[in-house]
Structure 1
């Protein structure tokens, strides 16, 4: 009898111990669980083979929730498994990696035939001109300086495109037309880095450039030789020259720095004494353009001030930005979109105006003079760029600023 009672008490004690242990285990497990961040399946990088297997298995068991194209307009939000694929670009995370195409090109393709037979010619470089028909002969001379290694792309600000078919090369060129827009407007919208990734160098040039002393193949060879990521040809000293940095030096292949007026350069490695090219005829490497494109604002018009900010896209800028002297051009300063194509006494609205150096931390600038408006482009080494056409008070601590005054009677 005593043995039976002791056995029952022993079993009861074990049961209580088991219950207590179970409860303690559950509490311990709960605290362990909440002490670690939640792990989402959508953030787990899985091998593509496993992803495919999982995707198929998931959809086999949940066919009612799979996102088929025909379900997109049904009124209910389709559900798809979201698996993070680190190799996919933004916006394509939910696509199988094998079908994702992140980049494209501007190669012209036939309307028939095998894709492998489609491209007989793959240019390595891209040249863009923003043009009006009045400058067709000048552009024709310029295009002849570029070999078949260069793809020609014309941006037409006057809406006239078919008239260019008088030139044989126009049949192979790409034509984009939008009235009264500048090259930076076109560049932001049509020269996305993923669109022009096939080209090693991108020329973004004005239409009023004389190229008698320029050879594009030799220019590219010098750019590669001297490691220039951002460059331009040297400018003929007597034509349209604003900065000493872009002046052609007759005894050099390339130069990367210069001497400006006393006090204009706070540092010999900074613009306008180094790390500087102008915006009339810049040439960018593929890698540099990927950065510069993002820096171009949607409302950037003439591009004033962008030249001072280009240095932010290469490092070290004073070594990778330079001017090619032995392949040089002439800036003809022909008015095109300045004042909507109208000249002032035969000159472009900005011609003949030199930058003024202003020192101090506060400037009051009256942009209304004798009933004529002046456009002000403030160029600062902080790369802050803005335009004004009325009386402005500029309150800045930075003393290294340059203010351009451009006469333009048509600005309201």
Structure 2
């Protein structure tokens, strides 16, 4: 009996071993077929807790799937291994990289990106959705000194609540303007001894003024007795003007025929100049031309003009001849509004902000800089055109 029991134990152990071997083989075969049948699953697609994901080297797992090795990854700099672009391409749902976002915002979800802003004044309390009882549709900027406060007061009163007022102060005096009720609702930017084009380049980026349909960039010495802003906007829209200005009183020694007011029309878009001045009737100064003292830009036109303004050329001389580059066809979309006209008072206030050098009056130095900038702007544009068309020929 003892001998029989020993034999039965040996037989039982042999059977258990055989079953274990068979089970192992079947498990391997089953696993093989499962691996072939189903696509590889990346741990990056598993909804694991962050503390688990952080302990897994996802980069190594992904690289093995693509045939790489641990050694290959180790030789890459960490900023490449961990870049948002690679994580995005690898399908990592915990990383964000959106190429269509504005430059610099690629790491943000599109739903949180706010690429544009405005000059609307907001409260420090309450529901943000209830801050604004009215949203001005147009922006009016004046570059001012305190000495012209009466003139600016008269001008601002020609604009309704549909117009946001923005004052650029070249003399540094701002608080004194609070004597006017409208000044408390205006935006004030104070930097001494700068021009309106310097301010425009730095504070009127297209994405900053995108909320406004039209942008007025005006001097401080304009008489507006015969001007109505709402009617002006109506005429600009009616005649399809992307860049415009009010007509100028013709008895003030003006240089250009194009910008003189005509008494028999609402708007004009072309004129006749002195013999030899206009080689093409559709080009400045006979068409597609307004002066830089009181221009008005549509939102789309300003986006182009802002990029054309040179950062170091602050007087804007030469811009009036180049504005046509920003609209097409320019001779139809640039014009002068005759029935809403202004008077250029020719007050040399900005010239007095210069400094006397080599015995010259301050205004003389400013005027020389204006002429120099005009030549520089023309030269840069000519060179840029030349380079572009040369590259096009090579391409």
TM-score (norm 2): 0.70
| Alignment partner of 2:371 out of 365, 372, 376 | 376
Task: Give yes or no for contact 2:242–2:298 (8 Å, CA) kept in 1.
Answer: yes
Is residue 2:128 matched to residue 1:115? Answer: yes
Q: 1:169 is paired with a residue of what secondary structure?
A: helix
Indicate whether 1:81 and 2:94 are aligned: no
Deviation at 1:276, TM superposition (A): 0.4
> What is the distance in 2 between the residues matched to 1:234 and 1:56?
67
C-alpha separation between the residues in 2 aligned to 1:120 and 1:55? 49
Larger Rg: 2
Q: Which has the higher helix share?
A: 2
Give the aligned partner of residue 26 of structure 1.
Answer: none
| CA distance in structure 2 between the aligned counterparts of 1:299 and 1:201, rounded to whole angstroms | 25
Q: Which residue of 2 aligns with 1:260?
A: 273
Post-superposition offset of 1:300: 1.8
Residue 211 of structure 2, aligned match among 195, 198, 222: 198
Query: Is residue 2:171 matched to residue 1:158?
Result: yes
1:156 and 1:285 mapped to 2: Cα distance? 24
Cα deviation, residue 238, structure 1 = 1.3
Q: Structure 1 residues 193, 61: closer, same or farther in 2, change over 3 A?
A: farther
User: Equivalent residues in 2 for 1:57-96 (5 A)?
Assistant: 63=54, 79-82=82-85, 83=88, 84-96=97-109
Are residues 54 and 294 of structure 1, via their aligned partners in 2, closer, same or farther at CA, if it must alter by over 3 Å? farther
Q: Does 1:126 align with 2:120?
A: no
Query: What RMSD in Å do the two structures reach over aligned CA positions?
Result: 3.2
Other-structure match for 2:311: 298
Separation (CA, whole Å) in 2 of partners of 1:90 and 1:56: 30
Tell me the SS of whatever aligns to 2:154. Answer: helix
How far did 1:95 drift? 1.1
State the partner residue of 2:389. Answer: none
| Cα deviation, residue 87, structure 1 | 3.5
The question of whether the paired residues in 1 share the 8 Å contact of 2:248 and 2:343 is answered with: yes
1:229 to 242, 258, 265: 242
CA contact (8 A) 1:339 1:349 kept: no
Q: 1:59 and 1:80 mapped to 2: Cα distance?
A: 19
> Structure 1 131/60 Cα, relative in aligned 2: closer, same or farther at 3 Å?
same
Displacement of 1:240 after TM fit? 4.6
Asked if the contact 2:248/2:344 (under 8 Å) is kept, the reply is yes
Query: What residue is the counterpart of 1:146 in the other structure?
Result: 159
Q: Partners of 2:46 and 2:215 in 1: how far apart?
A: 42
Aligned mates of 1:316, 1:224 — CA distance in 2? 16
Q: Secondary structure at the match of 1:93?
A: coil
- Cα 1:54–1:60 shift into 2, 3 Å: farther
SS of 1:376 mapped into structure 2: helix
> 5+ residue gaps in structure 2?
1-43, 59-77, 89-96, 387-395
Of 228, 247, 257, which residue of structure 2 is paired with 1:244?
257
Q: Which runs of 5+ in 1 are unaligned?
A: 1-52, 67-75, 354-372, 387-394, 399-412
Task: Pick closer, same or farther for the CA change 1:374–1:117 going to 2, 3 Å.
Answer: closer
Q: Which residue does the alignment assign to 1:102?
A: 115
Structure 2 residue 284 is the aligned partner of structure 1 residue 271: yes
Per-residue deviation, 1:89:
1.1
After TM superposition, give the deviation of residue 85 of structure 1 in Å.
2.4
What is the rounded CA distance, in whole Å, between the counterparts of 1:306 and 1:242 in structure 2?
A: 16
Q: 2:289·2:324 contact (CA, 8 Å) conserved in 1? A: yes
